[in-house]
Structure 1
Amino acid sequence: MALLTALIPVVSNADDSVIAKLFAQQNIEGTMVIESLKTGQTFVHNATRARQPFSPASTFKVMNTLIAVEDGVVQDEHTVFKWDGHHYSVARWNHDQTLDSAFKVSCVWCYQQIARAVGTEAYKRYLKQTDYGHLQNEFDVTTFWLDEGSLEISAFEQVDFLKKLVRRQLPFNDKAYDTLQKIMLVKKTPSYSLWAKTGWAARVHPNVGWYIGYVKTSQDTWLFALNMVLDNKAQLPLRQKLALEALKAKGIID
């Protein structure tokens, strides 16, 4: 019986007061889920919202990169996307990109090129195989991860996806995993490494901000997903700020 008890994930049903305080201090409505890959111990702020699906926005680039490499649409992080000269509102998009830079600056037009090459039927197949979110049967292949209602995923589901990603339990080859791991790395310190992706669902109302990823320490790997209501662009940095503060407050990073 003791062994069975040890195998049961430790999930707190109560709202995590430490994380809740961080959100309250910034007057932010949102949610955060943090889960240990090793033990299943989970910290949750606002479980009701954590179950609510939203557009993944640019956090879908995590899945999209895996699909792109698996299908041979891109070869590796050095694959080049040629800029067509159109001037976008985001200045960092207005030049040629590599897969690595496209991921880091959330270049929409680059991933729209990928989406056209992958096609609707392949997306339906991959998202069904991986149990990723909730995809409508009819959708625009170039915008479905940005549109309201076309594809939605909850914070809990993001963490489940990340868990399968880290364990390499998704239907992708090693090259796909390795390429994603290279471009998703945000920070490496002597005590931890952070892989993460931001998202901004600007086509939904109210806007939703995301920050998802995982942290590897010498003892464990921690998966996390944060989403929050965005009232204005000035709040965008709070996605990373709140997530990192929560990870620090729980003693996961220093």
Structure 2
Amino acid sequence: MWLLFLATLSLFAHDDAVLAKLFEDYGVKGAMLIESLDGKERYVYNDVRAKIPLLPASTFKIPHTLIALDQNVVNAQSIIVWDKIARGIPAWNGDQTLESAFKTSCVWCYQKFARHIGLEKYDSYLKKMHYGNEKTGDDVERFWLDGKLRISAEEQIAFLKKLYRNELPFRRSDIDLLKKMMIDEQREECVIRAKTGWAVPKDDEHHGWYVGYVESSKGVYFFATNLLTPSSDELPLRKSITLDALRYKKLLE
């Protein structure tokens, strides 16, 4: 019993006290990682979970957008024509632009892109980007939602750093367009670029993501928050707990 207690303590020995208190106050389970561009500053809650590969869900729209642009299946001026199938999210029920599809996490839009792109090309892009486990599986329309693609919080940040540094194998104009669409909040003192995601596989945990980076006078800091979110009612917590963490660490100034 004592050895088990020590082992349990060791799992959380490196938890940042501020982040741990936030998770306790919010009453949620999950992981959070915040890291400076140079990697010298690093704050983590639940380091074990931060290393576990999980479904990316709609956070995959970050690389997915670049892939779709690179394949010329869409551009900044495109109108993505609604298929007239009513879906549970009202914002999806109408024609879309690339920006609106990204902002509202319009699944059917990106599935439409996927049918044009095909699994073979996705496999190639994932390897070039070194994105997560680089696996798609057999379903071109769902591999990022409930298929074989997995990425950890640590890997999310590694990918976002490559995006920020323009080190991904895509046209600079497409990268710049994506960064513009990623702006979630623009304040006088900082800019937050981010994307949410919610994975709801049938026979596995439901988890929510909020990943991105903040640019302020303090520098550039990357974040990846992953929460257990069994209900859609808990989805706002992904962003609110992250912003509180960034605020308490004085990274939004």
Q: TM-score, normalised by structure 2?
A: 0.91
Q: 1:228, 1:39 → 2: CA distance?
A: 23
Aligned length: 241
CA distance in 2, matches of 1:113, 1:56: 18
Written as runs of structure 1 = structure 2, the 5 A alignment for 1:235-254 is 235-254=234-253
Structure 1 counterpart of 2:187: 189
* Contact preservation (8 Å) 2:78, 2:97: yes
What percent of counterpart residues are identical? 45
The answer on whether the counterparts of 1:38 and 1:220 sit within 8 Å (CA) in structure 2 is no
- 2:164 counterpart residue number: 166
Matched AA of 1:44: V
- State the distance in 1 between where 2:18 and 2:57 align: 28
Deviations 1:53-80 (A, max 9, x none): 110000000010011111211122x321
What is residue 8 of structure 1 aligned with on the other side? none
| Maintained 8 Å contact 2:122/2:136 | no
2:16 counterpart residue number: 16
**How many angstroms does 1:231 deviate by?**
2.4
Q: What stretches of structure 1 move > 4 A for 4+ residues in a row?
A: none
Q: SS of the counterpart of 2:196?
A: strand
How much does 1:129 deviate?
0.9
CA contact (8 A) 2:200 2:207 kept: yes
Contact kept in structure 2, 1:69 and 1:175, CA below 8 Å: no
Q: Residues of 2 paired with 1:111 and 1:137: CA distance?
A: 15
Structure 2: distance between partners of 1:139 and 1:241: 35
Amino acid at match of 2:216: T
Q: Deviations over 1:187-220 (max 9, x none)?
A: 1111100000000001252200000000011341
What's the CA shift string for 1:210-235, capped at 9, x where partnerless?
00000011341111100010121111
Residues 129 and 169, structure 2, Cα contact 8 Å, conserved in 1 = yes
Closer, same or farther: CA 71–30 of 1 in aligned 2, 3 Å: same
Q: Residue type of the partner of 1:151?
A: L
Is 1:63 the counterpart of 2:73? The answer is no
The answer for unaligned runs of 5 or more in structure 2 is 1-12
Residue by residue, what CA displacement relative to the aligned partner does 1:26-69 show, whole Å, maximum 9, x if unpaired? 11111011110145311111000000011000000001001111
Q: 1:176 Cα shift? A: 1.3
Task: Return the alpha-carbon distance in structure 1 between the equivalents of residues 227 and 136 of structure 2.
Answer: 27
Q: How much has 1:179 moved relative to structure 2?
A: 1.2
TM-score, L = length of structure 1 = 0.91
Give the CA RMSD over aligned residues.
1.5
Contact 2:34 2:223 in 1 (8 A): yes
